[in-house]
Amino acid sequence: MASIEFDPYLERKAFDETKEGVKGLVDAKITEIPRIFHVPRDSLADKKPSVSDLEIPTIDFASLHVDTASREAVVGKVKHAAEKWGFFQVINHGVPLSVLEEIEDGVRRFHEEDPEVKKQYFTRDDDNKKFIYNSNFDLYSSSTSLNWRDSFVCYIAPDPPTPEELPVTCRDALFEYSKHVMSLGGLLFELLSEALGLESETLKSKECLKTLLMVCHYYPPCPKPDLTLGISKHSDNSFLTVLLQDNIGGLQILHQDSWVDVAPLPGSLVINIGDFLQLITNDRFVSVDCGA
């Protein structure tokens, strides 16, 4: 009786060489997902279930500029969230809803673009490119399985791309959204500095705001969602992450050994303390694991 041996490297290479990502599999109307996306059962068991009676903090920035007492109250909430959770959602943060909607639409437009157009941006060698599209940046690593997602990254700061370096489908949205995120990032680092009992400009003076990398994921419908993950358990190797969720959700964070759902809140942004910020604050602020 003949048997066909499973070679994960060759399967990953064959998948990669299509340059069409997970979206290409879905467009091919597959009914089973390739084995390279199968997550070991113990990993899936570790991911679930979530704890439904816990919620990450939500902080309203509406009163931030009213008076000193109002700002101090917001700083106190930021301090608690950064020290105890490592995650929090912000509302009334100053980024217009129209900008949030347009960047979400722009990301979707790119990922649902004609495959031949997307292939122009496909690479695994950044080679000083400002815009890179592929599926699973760590595809050739020792990871046990691939994630069910496609992604593009865009290097915005300190050296912004020219308009010609970005796809037409999301060019304007990327520039507009990044402008607002840099402004919000400046405010967040002020509040986090004050939460540490320091001057407002302290963290910015340490160049925490110097670099902005936009990572935009796309999760096509999966025919067997119980067999795979959108993003494996990880923490962010950055100072701070500003995350815009769509209305589908799926994000979870690890809090006190329990997985907590981060339910989408229209108009909000999720703020995630990164590994570098935990490091330079001597563990005052915590960077926690998340996944989807």
Model pLDDT, residue 47: 52
Model pLDDT, residue 250: 87
Model pLDDT, residue 171: 98
CATH superfamily of the 22-291 domain: B-lactam Antibiotic, Isopenicillin N Synthase; Chain (2.60.120.330)
How far apart, in Å, do the first and last CA atoms of the chain sit?
Answer: 40
Model pLDDT, residue 142: 84
Its pTM stands at 0.92
Computed over its alpha carbons, how large is the radius of gyration of the chain?
A: 20
Specify the amino acid at residue 10.
L
Model pLDDT, residue 44: 56
Helix-, strand-, coil-residue percentages of the chain, each rounded to 5: 35, 15, 45
Give the Cα-Cα-Cα angle 103, 105, 109 (nearest 5 degrees): 115
- Per residue of the chain (292 residues), what is the pLDDT tens digit? 455 677 899 999 999 999 999 999 999 999 999 999 999 877 655 555 555 668 899 999 999 989 999 999 999 999 999 999 999 999 999 999 999 999 999 999 999 999 999 999 999 987 789 999 999 999 998 889 999 999 999 999 999 999 999 999 999 999 999 999 999 999 999 999 999 999 999 999 999 999 999 999 999 999 999 999 999 999 999 999 999 999 888 899 999 888 999 999 999 999 999 999 999 999 999 999 999 8
Residue carrying structure tokens 């390279």: 36
Model pLDDT, residue 127: 79
- The residue extents of the domains of the chain are 22-291
- Cα gap 47→105, rounded to integer Å: 29
DSSP label at 127? T
Model pLDDT, residue 137: 93
DSSP label at 31? S
